[in-house]
Amino acid sequence: MSLFFIVALPFFGALLPGLMNAAGRSATAGVTFTVTLAAFIGLLTNLPAILAGDVVMARVDWMPALGLNFTLMLDSLGFFFALLILGIGLLIIAYARQYLSSKDHMGEFFTYLLLFQGAMVGIVLSDNILLLLIFWELTSLSSFLLIGYWKHLPEGRQGARMALTVTGMGGLAMIGGMLILGQIVGSYDLSVILQNRELIQADPLYVPALILILLGCFTKSAQFPFHFWLPHAMAAPTPVSAYLHSATMVKAGIFLMARMWPVLSGTPEWFVIVTSAGLITMVLGAVIALFKHDLKALLAFSTVSHLGLITMLLGTGTAFGAMAAVFHILNHATFKAALFMSAGIIDHEAHTRDIRRLGGLRTLMPITFMIVSLAALSMAGIPLLNGFLSKEMMLEEANHTVLFNSPWLVPVLATFGSLFSAAYCFRLIGHVFFGPVRDDYPAKPHDPGAGLWLPPALLIIPVVVIGVAPFVAEPFVKLVTASVLGSAAEMPSAHLKIWHGLVPALYMSIIAVVGGLVMLAIFTPALRIWENTPRPEAKVIFETIVEAAAKLAQALILPLHNGAFSRYAAVGTITIVVAGYYAWTTGTIGAPTHALQPADPVLISGWGMLVAATIGMVFLHRNRFLSLILIGIVGLMVSIGFVFLSAPDLAMTQFTVEVVTIILMLLALNFLPNRTPIESSVLRRVRDVGVAAAGGLASFALAYHYMLRDPVASSISEFHLANSYKGGGGTNVVNVILVDFRGFDTFGEIIVLSIAALLIYALTETLLGGPVGAKLLNRRPDQPRAGDMHPMMMVVLTRGMMPVVMMVGFYIFLSGHNEPGGGFIAGLIVSIGMVMQYMASGFSWASARLKYPYHGVIGAGVLVAGFTGIGSWFVDKPFLTSDFTYVRIPPFEKFELATAALFDVGVFLSVVGAVMLSLESFSRLARRADAPQVLHPMDIDPSREDLKEGV
Amino acid sequence: MEQILSVLIGILVASAVYLMLARNLLRFLFGLILLSNAANLTIFVAGRLTPGAPPLVPDGMDAPVGVVANALPQALVLTAIVIGFGLFAFALILAFRAYQSLGTLNTDEMRVAEPKEN
């Protein structure tokens, strides 16, 4: 099966459990099992190629410019891990079906599980390291969901958070490391990177890249000093612990170290960091595990310890170490998953995982006893079980490892770790299963149904088979080792066998096992010493650090971000000015290239009005009516300025928008307080003046200086000017830019405008439906109303004007491509004509004559513009490519037909719709209970009694 | 001409910022109008000043003759004016709603989401 399917199956399959949830628990588990089985079989179809030593590749270019390609690679290492992930996944699914109670939402659980499974398979099959990073982050996220699956448990939530924080931070570091690696090699494909050992190790950035990548691996695989999150993640349901924390997720870091082994290993930095981190983790984990009373905590720390062992083996950088590591990954996955599942069984049946409350289960749970004993003895390193073989190889390797110039440091510590490892395994068997049968178990323990014990029992088969006949596993282990080694080292000649003769490793093994038994015998006094020894509590430290970080963030943010808008405005202004000032003082500025142009007296007088109106706003803003007039003056003067400065299109737009804005304000200000009270103290106003002056001064300086100089880089304006007619078919360059060169931007802009209008409509609609609507309906206006609501003169004039306005709008629209005008301006003009009808004849009269709702007009506009753009796809051109031609229909002159004109129709329609919908929404607010609803063509004063008869 | 235009921009920005620093929403809206005018002008003059030469192609020609005004900032500002209207109308309805629902225009007194801590 194609690699794409193997990776994609769990992801697509993740949709199914949620859907199947209603069909029952078995159906949900069944569909999950089927999906995993399909992926598993798909993986096995690639087995012949793997056995032949081939590497299966699959590739789709995604963003080749960024080096991001969807490239998958399956070699024996990836196959090995994928086999563990999917194979143990199958057992876990069967186990979880029985384990989860009817109160647990099974669809949710299996959805998360499949997401996680897909992400894990993605990691081990990725060829592109950027893709690998994406899957890496996905495992962090999905494991967060799985660990916190029991949302009602605070430990679950805290454990999930801690796991996400630690592994997430490691993931961020790894992104940095991978990017450096990609930069060094010039490719993000693993298959290329793995060929460039010398190049990478000679690069000065090798050490930073190594440290960053190792941070990612160590956090994921719970290596010292990041080991503390794993035991807390044990608050998860047992199937999750068995899956994530024995066989898969925590192995992701190991996998990556093995994957990168050919290029990263072999240097002193790699050796010291990886070996010592692994060694410390191994010893520390084993010691802590012995003194844990919670079964899962004991197993968690033993996992930490064994991961340390594998890390140390990879750290030594020898081919033999790599082979031992691969072998131990396999062995550990089998016995540890079985142990976790058995711990779940004990918890499930005895309702406790506390070793102190257990004991004597040997006769009560014989099947579980068998499974746990074999798995634990294997973990302790007892011959004829698989754990013994890889532990021997580890001790052998430790014997040859010289760390910090000391030939005895590693062997002694490795023996010490093995001793404690044997001790906790013996304790696990002895304190749980041996001893007298008790009468105070929380529940009566007995062996569970086959659904629960069969999955761990199946895992015991390889434990024993490999233990008795190691040569069965040898070809596979060597195959995987070959792909770990790559071209960096020769395959070791050693064989997997039980008897190596009287070598030092054997003595070390014997010391460990005997020492472990002694340790168990003196467990009670040892525990007392351990409990009286002060030691740092990782969770407390972690939480202190997190809290300190949160406090620091608050201390930084709260003064700036205290919820008062005026403070944001002040801080924002000051920051911009300071940044600009810094740029001004540190940058260089050339001499002016333009002379000042003389100012026209007319311009100066207009300027004077504008300045006066602006300053007037500052002093007179408390009077809303005066403010309105001043705003009108500002807008009009700006539009005259545009006329003067060769921007006729802008002048027309500014003018029409100004009219619409004033109408809008007239409508809204009616409902807002008449006068603005003085709320600010003198001091505050002085501060405001200071901030405002700084902002004004900075804008002045910016505008003044750039107006006197040419642009630093050549402008694309020249291109627009030169191609407007030849390329766009229009002589009005501004319009051609809008509907042609920058048509896509314009398309976005009309959508934004439309959304704003629809939001305004929605906000007024919900407002009118609520209590505010009732208040508005019965409000008493604060100003006297005109007796003549719809003056005759105005009614007659506006109705007569309507066709004229429409024609002007039409003309402006048509001529827009060649003369000043276009869809925006025409839309605004037509809107004004229509608003005039509302103003003169009343809301009811005007809306009764409205054939099309404005929402429809907006939608039609956006659709017309959009379809015009899509139309170019049919001639294999990109979105919104324009075309034009000239036609001549006698007796008219030759005229132009352009697709851009059709696009402009869309612009026109959405502008009309958006402006009218906003204005209409505001005017709906003005309805009052006592306001007459006039629907007939003409009225003078509807409140006059004598007229009411004739209605 | 350049100096008076840049002074104008400075005055517009200063007035706009002063008005927007207030706690009163209506005053803020007035400031917003002035600020959008100031921003439009700033972008517009980034195309430098070319009086009396609009960017039009004369009849029978392929491209404008001589120095004409920079068309690109004009196109940018044109849409900015229209979007500015949409923004203003939206801000206005929000202010209106806030006033009608909360009975105040003072932003410091609008504390539905973040009640004052005592």
- CA of A604 vs chain B CAs: smallest distance (Å): 8
Q: How close is the nearest chain A Cα to the Cα of B106, in Å?
A: 9
- pLDDT for position B33: 92
Residues of B in contact with A566 (CB under 8 A): 20-23, 107-108
Q: Which residue of A has its CA nearest to B50?
A: A645
8 Å CB contact of A692 and B15? yes
pLDDT digits (tens, 9 = 90+) for A228-270: 888 888 877 888 887 887 778 888 888 888 888 888 887 888 8
Q: Which residue of A has its CA nearest to B47?
A: A707
Please give the structure tokens belonging to residue A858: 């907006």
Residue A60 class from Cβ within 10 Å (0-12 exposed, 13-18 middle, 19+ buried)? exposed
Res. A941: pLDDT tops 70? no
Single-letter residue type at A262: P
A74 DSSP 8-state letter: E
Share of chain A above pLDDT 70, in %: 95
Smallest Cβ distance to A566: which of B2, B22, B47?
Answer: B22
Alpha-helical runs (H) found in chain B: 2-20, 25-45, 71-102
pLDDT at position A933 over 70: no
CA A229, CA A219: separation in Å to the nearest integer? 9
Nearest chain B residue to A915 by CA distance is B86
Question: What pLDDT shows up at residue B116?
Answer: 65
Beta-strand relationship, A895-898 and A68-74: unpaired
The pair of three-digit structure tokens given for residue A517, joined into one six-digit string: 């038994």
For B109, the closest chain A residue by CA position comes to A564
Partner residue facing B93 (CB), from A644, A733, A764: A764
Which of B27, B49, B106 is opposite residue A707, by nearest beta carbon?
B49
**Average pLDDT taken over every residue of chain A:** 83
Residues 6+ apart with CB under 8 A from B42: A699, A702, A703, B9
Q: Chain B: give the shortest CA distance to residue A719, in Å.
A: 10
Instruction: Give me the pLDDT at residue A407, please.
Output: 73
Residue A951 pLDDT grade (very low, low, confident, very high; cuts 50, 70, 90) = very low
pLDDT for res A235: 78
Cβ B65 vs Cβ B58: under 8 Å: yes
B37/A634 Cβ within 8 A? yes
pLDDT digits (tens, 9 = 90+) for A594-631: 888 888 888 889 899 999 999 998 888 888 888 889 99
Q: CB-based contact (8 Å) between B45 and chain A?
A: yes
Q: Do B26 and A672 touch (CB under 8 A)?
A: yes
- What pairing do the DSSP bridges indicate for beta strands A895-898 and A884-887? antiparallel
The answer to whether residue B77 neighbours chain A at the CB level (below 8 Å) is: yes
Q: With an 8 Å Cβ cutoff, are B107 and A635 in contact?
A: no
> Which residues 6+ apart lie within 8 Å of A709 measured at CB?
A589, A590, A592, A593, A594
Residue in A647, A680, A695 closest to B22 by CB: A680
Residue A25 has pLDDT above 70, yes or no: yes
pLDDT of residue A944: 53
Give yes or no for a cis peptide into A891 (omega within 30° of 0): yes
Cα torsion through A726, A727, A732, A735, rounded to 10: 180
pLDDT digits (tens, 9 = 90+) for A248-257: 888 888 888 8
User: What integer is the mean pLDDT of A105-121?
Assistant: 87
Check pLDDT > 80 for residue A780: no
- The model's pLDDT over A123-145, given as tens digits with 9 standing for 90+, comes to 988 888 888 898 999 988 888 88
Phi, then psi, of A385 in degrees rounded to 5: -125, 155
Q: Which amino acid is at A933?
A: Q
Q: How confident is the model at residue A831 (pLDDT cuts 50, 70, 90)?
A: very high
pLDDT band (50, 70, 90) for residue A483: confident
By the CB < 8 Å criterion, does B13 face chain A? yes
**CB within 8 Å: A824 and B82:** yes
Lowest-confidence segment of A178-192, A342-356, A386-400, A816-830 by average pLDDT: A386-400
d(CA A185, CA A163): 32
Give the whole-angstrom CA distance, residue A594 versus residue A706.
10
* Chain B positions in Cβ-Cβ contact with residue A734 (cut-off 8 Å): 55, 71, 74-75, 78
- Asked if A226 contacts A219 with a C-beta cutoff of 8 angstroms, the reply is yes
Q: Which residues of chain B have pLDDT under 50?
A: none
How large is the average pLDDT for residues A878-900? 76
pLDDT digits (tens, 9 = 90+) for A703-760: 998 888 887 777 788 888 888 888 777 888 888 888 888 888 999 999 999 999 999 9
* The two structure tokens encoding residue A410: 């590693």
Q: List Cα–Cα distances, A502 to A377, A393, A497, A499, B100, in angstroms.
A: 22, 14, 13, 8, 91
Instruction: Read off the tokens for A852.
Output: 């099309």
Residues of B in contact with A697 (CB under 8 A): 10, 14
Specify the DSSP class assigned to residue A381.
Answer: T
Using CA atoms, how far apart are residues A636 and A60, in angstroms rounded to an integer?
58
Q: CB burial class (10 A; 0-12, 13-18, 19+) of residue A545?
A: exposed
Q: How far is B66 from chain A (nearest CA, A)?
A: 11
Give per-residue pLDDT as tens, A507-563: 777 877 788 788 777 777 777 877 777 777 777 888 888 889 889 988 888 877 777
> Is CATH 1.10.287.3510 correct for B2-51+69-106?
yes
| Interface predicted TM-score of the whole assembly (ipTM), two decimals | 0.93
- What is the pLDDT, as a whole number, of residue B113? 65
Find the CB nearest B83 among A696, A753, A918: A753
Between B45 and A928, whose confidence is greater? B45
Is the model's pLDDT at A147 over the cut of 90? no
Cα distance between residue A611 and residue A633, in whole Å: 10
